[in-house]
Amino acid sequence: MPGGHRIGLLDALCRGLNGYARGLASARALGILVLATVAGCGDSARDEEAWEEDRERLVESLVENGIDDPLVLAAMRKVPRHEFVPASVRGRAYDDDALPIDQDQTISQPRVVALMTQVLGLRGGERVLEIGTGSGYHAAVLAQIAAEVYTIEIVPELAESAAARLDRLGYSNVSVRQGDGYLGWPEKAPFDAIVVTAAPSHPPPALVEQLKEGGRMVLPIGESGEVQDLYLLEKGADGVQTKRLVPVRFVPMVGEAQKKKDSGDR
């Protein structure tokens, strides 16, 4: 069974077990919750104070690893990452690790999310484009700072679930579109900042075009299955300046990006 299907089934099992337990007398509920823990659903019913303590520890580790933008740290402290991962891995939501989500995809390591957000230099009021919505976590972090976030996801099931999740959590300044991120979102351009969370072999020309003069784009570039490099692109009157930041590992950008790579056409 594909990994995404296993996660989805276990997530549904966890929700069912915990929901059933809440409707039972205490002794039987305890037995159901023990079963939920054995099934890998531990921590799914923790109170918000415990989650806040976990987020604070995560933020402390981010500071130790060079994240120092107060707005980024406040966003990471605010966004409930446990709401963006399956119940089967919710107990690890605030570990500084990438975690599996549905459709054989992953939610990025918090340190990478924070770094990519920090290098954009957001100060509030910006219009931001994200390519690769995934679970919606990075969009939620961006939405804590920017005025408007537009995010594109190529996998229909992920786009639908992320849109519902962001709506449920109250992120009214995030718009989700299902489509090919290589082509951007021209109707909403230009953007003050663009963040790409899947690796193309080259900067997508449409995204460079849709970036406002003075804007920044951060994206991984490299081959699938290999360590890629994270780049910062800054668009000025004289063209685009490129800076290599750190090694990273992202899923490949598919769709039109893959076709361009296969044909050698950029």
Q: Is 161 a catalytic residue?
A: no
Q: How many helices (H) and strands (E) does the chain have?
A: 9, 9
Q: Return the pLDDT at 262.
A: 66
Helix (H, G, I), strand (E, B) or coil at 182: helix
Which H or E element spans position 81?
A: none
Strands 127-131 and 148-153: parallel
In one-letter notation, the amino acid at residue 199 is A
Q: Return the pLDDT at 4.
A: 44
pLDDT higher than threshold 70 for residue 40:
no
Average pLDDT over residues 237-248: 96
Locus of tokens 């605010």: 78
pLDDT higher than threshold 50 for residue 27:
no
Under 8 Å between Cβ of 246 and 228: no
State both tokens at 180: 């090919």
State both tokens at 192: 């003050």
- Interval 105-136: pLDDT, tens: 899 999 999 999 999 999 999 999 999 999 99
Range 100-263 has CATH code 3.10.50.40: no
Q: Which of 26, 44, 88, 108 is catalytic?
A: 108
Q: Return the pLDDT at 258.
A: 75
Under 8 Å between Cβ of 227 and 248: yes
CATH 3.40.50.150 boundaries in the chain: 100-263
Helix (H, G, I), strand (E, B) or coil at 245: strand
Average pLDDT over residues 41-58: 81
Angle at 118 between CA 114 and CA 119, to 5 degrees: 125
Q: Return the pLDDT at 30.
A: 46
Average pLDDT over residues 159-173: 98
Position 26 confidence tier, pLDDT thresholds 50, 70, 90 = very low
